Amino acid sequence: MISYLVRRILTLIPLFFGITLISFAVIHLAPGSPIDVLADLNPKMTAEAKQRLISYYGLDKPLHERYYQWLRRFASLDFGVSFSPDRRPVMDKIRETLPITIVINALSLLLIMLVAIPIGAYSASHPYSAFDKSLTLFVYIGFAIPTFWLALLALILFSVQLEWLPISGFRSLDYARLSLAGKIWDMVSHLILPVLLSAFGGLAGLSRYMRGSMLEVMRQDYITAARSKGLSEREVIYKHALRNALLPVVTILGLSVPGLIGGSVIFEQIFAIPGMGRLFYTGVMSRDYPLVMGILTIGAFLTLLGNLFADISYALVDPRIRKGGKG
């Protein structure tokens, strides 16, 4: 196990440098000096701010030295100071907003698992039944529907027409004065639509994947063996098949991290949730250079962590990988 872990982490090192290289390249993507482009786009930028930037990014130095300097700052999580009027360090802003995004994404990931695994397994054990066919239909629609559109429709229905849920935000204005139950309901009512909708896209994908994985397992010899041993169909499915079918699904969950993080930009924007996605969007709109680069890099590392996490949990549940030769 330990040697597997060590090998797995070693493969992250080239990826780590790749990520920093691409992030670094994006900064230099704009034609001419990125600072000039910024100044053109943002006429409010003062000469002093321009100078500050040039020295921050070391634009007066050669490229490799610049990269080295950027890497060193990055190692201490220093992404510089935001261009916005408050001039606060980018890392502070990320630190404030990231937990909100993580909570929402974790909740929707949990929801995806709780819903997709049972329905995928059920429809694989009853292939071509009415349930299975409706799942197929749901999957097709789930893949094709723009979730931000679904969010708009949900807002029109539940917030405008029925007035059941608040239209946006994270907390009500009178949050502090609410009773404990009131506070809990306030949080739930603000989070319910964002979590449900960001789970929706992943739901279609994972239930389809779960169904495929389960069908694959049901064809294996050990399932036939379990059946011929006289086990009930229930035991065969839930004790023998389900466990094995879950293995590859764990990996898919890790791989869905970038999609969820990317999607948070749209959801946080629609529902006015003060998370990292919305911060990123504000940064893009106001061309807040250090902020955009900081969040882009952090997002990539979260993905890397998600993949690592998936691999480790896979190794934990699958002895073939834990003990065996090539990982």
Partner 1 sequence: MIQGAVWKSVRQNPLTLFGGFVVLMLFVVALGAPYFPVHDPFSIDADAVLEAPGLGHPFGTDELGRDVFSRVIYGARISLWVGFVSVGIAIVIGIFLGAVAGYYGGWMDGLIMRFVDVMLCFPTFFLILAVIAFLEPNIATIMAIIGLTGWMGVCRLVRAEFLSLKERDFVQSARALGVGNLRIIVHHILPNSLTPVMVAAILGIAGAILTESALSFLGIGVQPPTPSWGNILTSGKDNLQIAWWLSLFPGLAILVTVLSYNLLGEGLRDALDPRLRGSR
What residues line the site for partner 1 (CB under 8 A)? 14-15, 18-19, 21-22, 26, 29-30, 34, 37, 140-141, 143-146, 148-150, 152-153, 155-156, 160, 167, 205, 208-209, 212, 215, 257-259, 261-263, 265-266, 269-270, 280-281, 283-285, 287, 289, 292-293, 295-296, 299-300, 303-304, 307
Nearest CB to partner 1, comparing residues 127 and 324:
127
Nearest CB to partner 1, comparing residues 19 and 112:
19
Nearest CB to partner 1, comparing residues 43 and 230:
43
Q: Least distance to partner 1 from the beta carbon of 38, Å?
A: 8
Q: State the Cα–Cα distance between residues 149 and 157, nearest whole angstrom.
A: 12
Q: Of the candidates 254, 267, 257, which has an alpha carbon nearest to the alpha carbon of residue 147?
A: 267
Q: Least distance to partner 1 from the beta carbon of 28, Å?
A: 10
DSSP 79-101: --B-SSTT--BHHHHHHHHHHHH
Tokens found for residue 142: 């789930």
Three-state DSSP class for 299? Answer: helix
Q: What SS3 string covers 267-294?
A: HHHHCCCCCHHHHHHHHHHCCCHHHHHH
Tokens found for residue 42: 């943002």
Q: Least distance to partner 1 from the beta carbon of 111, Å?
A: 20
Number of other CB atoms surrounding residue 162 within 10 Å:
9
Q: State the Cα–Cα distance between residues 63 and 97, nearest whole angstrom.
A: 32
Nearest CB to partner 1, comparing residues 245 and 261:
261
Nearest CB to partner 1, comparing residues 9 and 184:
9
Q: Least distance to partner 1 from the beta carbon of 284, Å?
A: 4
